[in-house]
Amino acid sequence: MALQFFEDTAHAREHIEVAIRKFGWAPEHNYWWYQYYQHYYHPPQRNIYVENDHGGLFTAYDEKDGAYYVDFDPMAPPEHRIPLLREYIAWIFSNTPAKKIWFQLIMSDRRELMRALPAGYQCQRIYFTIVWPVYDMRLFDPALPGGHYKSIRKEMHKFYREHAVGVEDAKAFADREGLHAMVDRWKRGRFHHDKAMTGIYHSMIDGNFQGTDEARVLVVDGGPVGFNAGWMIPNSDRFYGAIGIHDYSIEDLGTMLYLEDMIWLKKRGYREVDMGGSETSALPFKKKFLPQSFYKSAIFSVAKK
């Protein structure tokens, strides 16, 4: 079957969700996350779901810069991912004035795509690399025993001694304006130089965290200072800890929010957790919690020669 394009992704929700249940395998294969993700840019990108008989692509078009995006990994079995991407690339460059298509792919798929690109196209250099830590929750002890966790235990005891701390269901949390304000404080407090995902988080709050299996707000001294949210990766036994942001208002708040997530997910019985991709600068922090493995993906573009 030739490529089909679904430009009204809200209307095509049921169709896309059926495809996710059939073909999904990666952390970001989530209908609602796809809908939130178009708000990464301002004005929002236009989502266009694309599929053939063997899988689908979560794509978007940015009217401002005229570029097309394959936002997440191809939603297809391994043997069909590169053919699907080749077909999409050929269609875009043959039927639109686009000069560039942006991709996020795991490294093995990027290497395979580079080898499979037909003459006339080329993969540009990697714009940046994302590293994803994976934790075996059977090996995580919430008591944080041993010398490795000594400083974190000290931070945790101080934090809970000095503050009134609570955790609330994000989907039932009444103070939506407080959550929006927290996201804005997070943006102002960040030290990373990549583009802040503020629009996505505001959209998720407005959407009442639809698409998440777990979503909680960390409340300290009476106000929201952060939230964690995530979902089960389709066709897997792995949970995706997609969101974990805080407003930098308290010393060691990032560590406490991460611990809240790890301890909660352990209690909920999740066996394996992917705690989300980040640039290499964030790895020292995530390594403090002893992930069992890592994998990488790349942000890059394909252009005509």
Whole-model pTM: value is 0.95
Q: How many CA atoms lie within 13 A of 287 on its CB side?
A: 7
Cα dihedral 142, 147, 151, 153, rounded to 10, equals 30
Distance CA 242, CA 132 (A): 11
In the DSSP assignment, the letter for residue 119 is: T
Long-range contacts of the stretch 39-47 (C-beta < 8 A, 24+): 39/199, 39/200, 39/202, 39/203, 40/195, 40/197, 40/199, 40/200, 41/199, 42/199, 44/199, 45/69, 46/7, 47/9
pLDDT 10s digits, 205-258: 999 999 999 999 999 999 999 999 999 999 999 999 999 999 999 999 999 999
All domains of the chain in start order, with CATH: 4-123 (3.40.630.30), 133-294 (3.40.630.30)
Q: Are 165 and 298 in contact (CB under 8 A)?
A: no
Question: Which amino acid is located at 240 in the chain?
Answer: Y
Angle between helices 198-206 and 176-189 (to 10 degrees): 170
Q: Are 16 and 31 in contact (CB under 8 A)?
A: yes
Band of pLDDT at residue 193, cut at 50, 70 and 90: low
For residues 250-271, give the mean pLDDT.
97
Q: Which residue has the higher pLDDT, 63 or 78?
A: 78
> pLDDT at residue 35 above 70?
yes
> pLDDT at residue 40 above 90?
no
Distance CA 305, CA 303 (A): 6
Please tell me the predicted confidence (pLDDT) of residue 227. 98
Q: How many CB atoms sit inside 10 A of residue 44's CB?
A: 16
> pLDDT at residue 77 above 70?
yes
Distance CA 37, CA 195 (A): 13
Q: What is the mean pLDDT of the chain?
A: 95
Band of pLDDT at residue 96, cut at 50, 70 and 90: very high
Question: Which amino acid is located at 142 in the chain?
Answer: P
Distance CA 247, CA 235 (A): 34
> pLDDT at residue 195 above 70?
no
For residues 128-144, give the mean pLDDT.
96
Q: Of all helices (H) and strands (E), which one includes residue 125?
A: none
For residues 64-86, give the mean pLDDT.
96
Coil vs helix vs strand at 67: strand
Long-range contacts of the stretch 182-186 (C-beta < 8 A, 24+): 182/224, 182/225, 182/226, 182/227, 182/245, 182/246, 182/247, 183/245, 185/247, 185/248, 185/249, 186/226, 186/245, 186/246, 186/247, 186/248
CA angle at 243 for the pair 234 and 135, rounded to the nearest 5° = 65
> pLDDT at residue 1 above 70?
no
